[in-house]
Amino acid sequence: MTDREPRASLPRVLIAGLAGDSGKTLVALGLIGALRARGFRVAPFKKGPDFIDAAWLGAAAQRPGRNLDSFLMADRAVTESVARAGATADVAVIEGNRGLFDGVDANGSHSTARLGRLVEAPVLLVVDATKATRTVAAMVLGCQALDPELEICGVLLNRVGTARQHEVIREAVTRATGLPVLGAIPKLEGQHLPSRHLGLVTVMEHSTTREVLERLGAVVEQHAAVGEILDAARRAPSLPRAPAQPAATRPTSVRVGVLRDRAFSFYYPENLEALQDAGAELVDISPLEDDELPDVDALYAGGGFPEVHAEQLSGNAPLRALLADRIAAGLPVWAECGGLGYLAHGWIERGVFHPMIGALP
- Dump pLDDT digits (tens) for 217-266: 999 999 999 999 999 999 999 988 777 766 656 666 899 999 999 999 99
Partner residues linked to 254 by β-bridges: 280
Beta strands 239-240 and 7-8, pairing class:
antiparallel
Residues 285 and 257 sit within 8 Å (Cβ to Cβ): yes
Amino acid, single-letter form, for residue 156: L
Total residue count of the chain as it appears in this document: 361
Dihedral, 69, 73, 74, 79 alpha carbons, nearest 10 = -50
Q: Which of 198, 159, 197 is nearest to 53 (CA)?
A: 198
Kindly state the average pLDDT of the residues 192-199.
Answer: 61
pLDDT(1) > 50: no
Helices (H), 198-331: 209-223, 226-234, 269-277, 310-315, 317-328
Residues 193-202, mean pLDDT to the nearest whole number: 66
CA–CA dist 304, 267 (Å, integer): 9
139 contacts 128 by C-beta, under 8 angstroms: no
Please state the φ and ψ torsions of residue 47, each to the nearest 5 degrees: -75, 130
For residue 249, what pLDDT is reported? 62
Proportion of the chain above pLDDT 90, given as a percent:
85
Distances, alpha carbon 24 to alpha carbons 106, 165, 315, in Å: 22, 20, 38
Backbone angles phi, psi at 177, to 5 degrees: -120, -20
Which of 139, 337, 340, 344 is an active site residue? Answer: 337
β-pairing verdict for 181-186 and 152-160: parallel
Of 257, 351, 243, 269, nearest to 297 (Cα)?
Answer: 257
In the residue annotation, 143 being an active-site residue is answered as no
Residue 191 confidence (pLDDT):
58
263: closest CA among 308, 221, 311, 326?
A: 308
Confidence class of residue 126 from pLDDT cuts 50, 70 and 90?
very high
**pLDDT tens readout for residues 54-73:** 999 999 999 999 999 999 99
For 36-57, what is the mean pLDDT? Answer: 96
Contacts of 278 (CB under 8 A, 6+ apart): 248, 250, 251
* Residues 117, 293: Cα–Cα separation, whole Å: 47
Mean of all residue pLDDT scores within the chain: 92
Q: What angle do CA 22, 266, 325 make, to 5 degrees?
A: 160
DSSP assignment of 295-355, as one string? --SEEEE-EE-TTTTHHHHHH-HHHHHHHHHHHHTT--EEE-THHHHHHSSEEEETTEEEE
Angle subtended at Cα 81 by Cα 298 and Cα 16, rounded to the nearest 5 degrees = 115
pLDDT of residue 240: 81
- pLDDT(2) > 50: no
pLDDT band, very low/low/confident/very high, at 196 (cuts 50, 70, 90) = low
Q: 153: Cβ–Cβ under 8 A, 6 or more apart, which residues?
A: 13, 122, 123, 124, 179, 182, 229, 232, 235
pLDDT level of residue 159 (50, 70, 90 thresholds): very high
Q: How many CA atoms lie within 13 A of 164 on its CB side?
A: 1
Q: How far apart are CA 132 and CA 155, in angstroms?
A: 15
Q: Which of 184-188, 209-213, 233-237 has the lowest mean pLDDT?
A: 209-213
65 within 8 A of 55, measured Cβ to Cβ: yes
**Residue 329 C-beta-side C-alpha neighbours within 13 Å:** 10
**What whole-number distance in Å separates Cα of residue 85 and Cα of residue 62?**
13
Inter-residue contact 346 to 354 (CB < 8 Å): yes
